[in-house]
Amino acid sequence: MFAIIMEDVYLLLGSNLGDRGRFLQRAIAEVTEKIAKVEKVSSVFETAPWGKNDEPAYLNQAVFFKSLKTAKEILRITQEIELHLGRQREEKWGSRTIDIDILFYGDQIIEEPELIIPHLHFHNRRFAVEPMLEMAPDLVHPRLKKTVRVLSEELTDNLSVEKI
């Protein structure tokens, strides 16, 4: 007999164009409709842009759900959601209506050309760590073997991240 394994999935949503809050809400609704019911969401944080500091401020929010879908299936669906919500990939770290990153997929480590989990830069970005600190402070980063709480204490990123 085969066991059905539901993986714990954490995504980070971000928007810095248009009605940012509405884009976050629409992304959550589409994730629930197309992947799995979102069970938990962090607060919304207004954050300074990372990588390109001449962009408008972002709203970021982490979401949690359990899913039977593979990480690759989730990536494909989240990219479709981004396109549906007007995302245009014109430049690295450029402004966007919505960005959906897979932060964690259970305790798996995935290293493929199109998919790296845990997210490669998670532990270096305050705008990703702060929402996760609120939702899952004791979650252990599978590669670094440190909790989100410890990673937050070790952050050197001093860009503005404020709960709204």
Residues with a known catalytic role: 87, 96, 99, 101
- Give the separation between CA 64 and CA 110, rounded to whole angstroms: 19
- Give the separation between CA 63 and CA 40, rounded to whole angstroms: 6
Strands 110-112 and 40-41, sheet pairing: unpaired
What's the one-letter identity of residue 107?
Answer: D
Take residue 148 and report the two structure tokens written for it: 């989100």
Give yes or no for a contact between 20 and 59, defined as CB atoms under 8 angstroms apart: yes
Strands 99-105 and 58-67, sheet pairing: unpaired
Take residue 70 and report the two structure tokens written for it: 């593979």
- Give the separation between CA 116 and CA 32, rounded to whole angstroms: 23
Residue 127: CA count within 13 A, CB half-sphere: 22
